[in-house]
Amino acid sequence: MSTASTSVLSQSDQRGYSKGELAWALFEWARTPYVILITIYVFAPYFTNTVVGDPVRGQSIWGYTNGIAGFFIAAFAPLFGAIADKGGSRKPWIAVFVAIMAPSLFLLWWAMPGADGGLSIWMIAVLIIVIAIAFEYSSVFHNSMLPHVTTPAKLGGLSGLGLASGNAGALIILITMLFCFALPGTIDWSFLPEAPLFGLDQSSYQHARISGPILAVWLVLFSIPLFLYTPDAKRSPQPMSELVIQGLQTLIATLRKLKHFRNVATYLLARMFYNDGKTAILIFGGVYAVGIFGWDEVRMLIYGIFLSTFAVLGGFVGGWLDNTFGSKKAILTSIGVTTIGVIATVSTTPTQILFFIPYDPVTAPPVWSFPYFNTWPEIIFMSMMTVLAIAITAAYANSRTMMARLAPPSMTTEFFGLYALSGTATAFLAPMTVGFFTDLFESQRAGYASILLLLGTGLALMLFVKQEQAKAIH
């Protein structure tokens, strides 16, 4: 650990979170909104239902697109982790991936229905692949900084704070888009502008397409504190070619060492499956909701605001569970709750509640006078997705902390490279699985339900993991 890092830790022990720790957490505020707006609530449903024009075909394309991104993530993310260990500094790499993500996000403004003067479906898919890859590669370097910027006692809290802040940032953007771009001109509320701000044209879906440019500016602006205040290891004087060779050698050597770390290997295998399942929920949650209930952009923004509010809570819940009961029990709880939540969501459609209760949306009176989400199936679906939002955010925080607790102090970055591998080695599996089952049964419902296979496998393997720090070998 560098002298700067030691200084930061000693200060933070006495005065709560230091400036460097908070800047590390703020990077989640900068980059996590991409997941919320592009992958879940705004762009993905818009792409699958409006740009593609067919929710079933759209879900299939979205699955295969994310599957291709997952392949490249699986192939190179572990190598980047090993390079980070040899190269020392992480922030230059993070800067590169931010520089890739920002313009790619901005280009999504030209994702128009029917490619009328805009990007074709395959060009949009390429952009999504590039953004997803850069996002995950940045995660490798950002996550590997965690043990070096805080103390072991605060790992769970800082990890949860980062994820909570990311969801809070997304919440602010969703609220802004709803009240400034989507609702004006559609409903007679006195506090709304008469028309969308900046002259956005709702008929050409500009209120959905604006999400890309907003996120591009947001990412660049709020990444700055990380580069200014968070301490980084000293950069290696070795040329990049040597770092790549050494990184490959280290990766191979680390994989070989796993036979001496059976408990860690079991955890990484378990995480590989349950992380894939949770990621699939993020990738397909919004797409599934729009396809099943036919929600428009306004409803999806409200839906996103509601769930993101509770996802913020999930970050703090994850930190509390971890600090109170330990990482393993926290992870088991979140996986179990997520599994139940997925079953509940696929059991509910506009005409059916919990598999067996019929519902007639034509004859049934509205539950309330609010013009949106006024049927029981919608309310039940929203409730279940709220539970999933809390559980998934908590699991991400707990999983990162579990790795920090298991890894030998002298091999932290090396093990976070394996952590990245467990999260990316099968990154193509979940989206490809959902895409395959969607095609096979020609059903969004069947495709979404296939996520249960991944969650169940991860839950079963996690039962065999012990929460104990491994001893380094030489």
Residue 469 lies in a domain: no
Are 341 and 391 in contact by the 8 Å Cβ rule? The answer is yes
* 352-353/357-358 β-pairing: antiparallel
Residue 120 lies in a domain: yes
Any idea what the CATH number is for the domain that residue 36 is in?
1.20.1250.20
Residue 6 lies in a domain: no
What digits encode the pLDDT tens for the residues 199-233?
888 888 888 889 999 999 999 999 999 988 887 76
Domain of residue 311, residue span: 18-462
Q: What is the pLDDT of residue 236?
A: 60
Q: What is the pLDDT of residue 218?
A: 95
Are 299 and 45 in contact by the 8 Å Cβ rule? The answer is no
Q: Return the structure tokens found at 183.
A: 């609702």
Beta bridge partners of 413: none
Q: What is the pLDDT of residue 303?
A: 86
User: Domain tally for the chain?
Assistant: 1
Residue 471 lies in a domain: no
Say whether pTM exceeds 0.85: no
Q: What is the pLDDT of residue 399?
A: 86
Residue whose structure tokens are 């279940």: 384
Angle among Cα 159, 160, 162 to the nearest 5 degrees reads 65
The helix, strand and coil proportions of the chain, stated in percent and rounded to the nearest 5, come to: 80, 0, 20
Give the ranges where 407-443 is alpha helix by DSSP (H): 412-424, 429-441
By CB neighbour count within 10 A (0-12 exposed, 13-18 middle, 19+ buried), where does 115 fall? middle
Closest residue by Cα to residue 299 from 195, 168, 384, 178: 178
Q: Return the structure tokens found at 107.
A: 């280009």
Torsion angle, alpha carbons of 115, 117, 123, 124, to 10: -70
What digits encode the pLDDT tens for the residues 11-20?
444 447 788 8
Residue 7 lies in a domain: no
Are 428 and 70 in contact by the 8 Å Cβ rule? The answer is yes
Q: What is the pLDDT of residue 87?
A: 59
CA distances from 214 to 60, 207, 210 (A): 27, 11, 6
What digits encode the pLDDT tens for the residues 290-347?
888 888 888 888 888 888 788 778 878 887 888 888 888 899 999 999 999 999 999 9
Residue 60's CB is within 10 A of a number of other CB atoms, namely 23
Q: What is the pLDDT of residue 110?
A: 92
Residue 468 lies in a domain: no
Closest residue by Cα to residue 65 from 124, 115, 118: 124
Residue 37 lies in a domain: yes
3-class DSSP state for residue 194?
Answer: coil
Residue type, 145: M
Q: What is the DSSP string of 290-321?
A: HHHH---HHHHHHHHHHHHHHHHHHHHHHHHH
Are 101 and 219 in contact by the 8 Å Cβ rule? The answer is yes
Taking the C-alpha atoms of residue 422 and residue 245, their distance in angstroms, rounded to an integer, is 22
Residue 280 lies in a domain: yes
